[in-house]
Amino acid sequence: MRINTFAAVAACTVLATSAQAQSAREVRGASPYADIQNEPAPRLILDPPLPDQLARGIFQIQYRVENVHIVPVFGAGALNVSPRIGHLHITVDDLPWHWADASDNNTIDVVGLPPGPHKVLIELVSADHQVFTGQTVTFTVPDRAK
């Protein structure tokens, strides 16, 4: 009788796990502790800017990456690290300069842009700053006087 109960509990546990939870690897990506042979190409996934924040003039955009581990590790000496490492370059409104973001915070935050159309280029780059991939986001900062 007791054994039967345990078997039923075990079956429920397995069902619950497969129904609800994606694996850690599926959600968080590969472990940074184990090297990867033939790692797939880097990917950058951007959401639209957070709408409530944009209405207040705050540009905040969530991102996630695949096949790149974002860390503050730089230079040619880091190019052969596996799993691959890198960081972001962020450029506002086609300015000739960008800043580096190695925070892996999943959100970029720019505040105080004047009302009107703007664009932010987000590039995923290697530790030595070669661009893997990038995306430009265009958006309009509302006129808060209205």
Query: Is the Cβ of residue 35 or residue 93 nearer to another protein in the bound state?
Result: 93
Q: Measured from the CB of residue 111, what is the shortest distance to another protein in angstroms?
A: 6
Residues sharing a CB contact under 8 Å with residue 122, sequence separation 6 or more, in sequence order: 44, 46, 61, 63, 88, 89, 90, 108, 134, 135, 136, 137
Query: Is the Cβ of residue 7 or residue 111 nearer to another protein in the bound state?
Result: 111
CA distance 23 to 30: 11
Interaction between residue 103 and another protein (CB under 8 A): yes
Residues sharing a CB contact under 8 Å with residue 20, sequence separation 6 or more, in sequence order: none
Query: Is the Cβ of residue 51 or residue 112 nearer to another protein in the bound state?
Result: 112
List 29, 32, 81, 101, residue binding another protein (CB under 8 A): 101
Interaction between residue 89 and another protein (CB under 8 A): yes
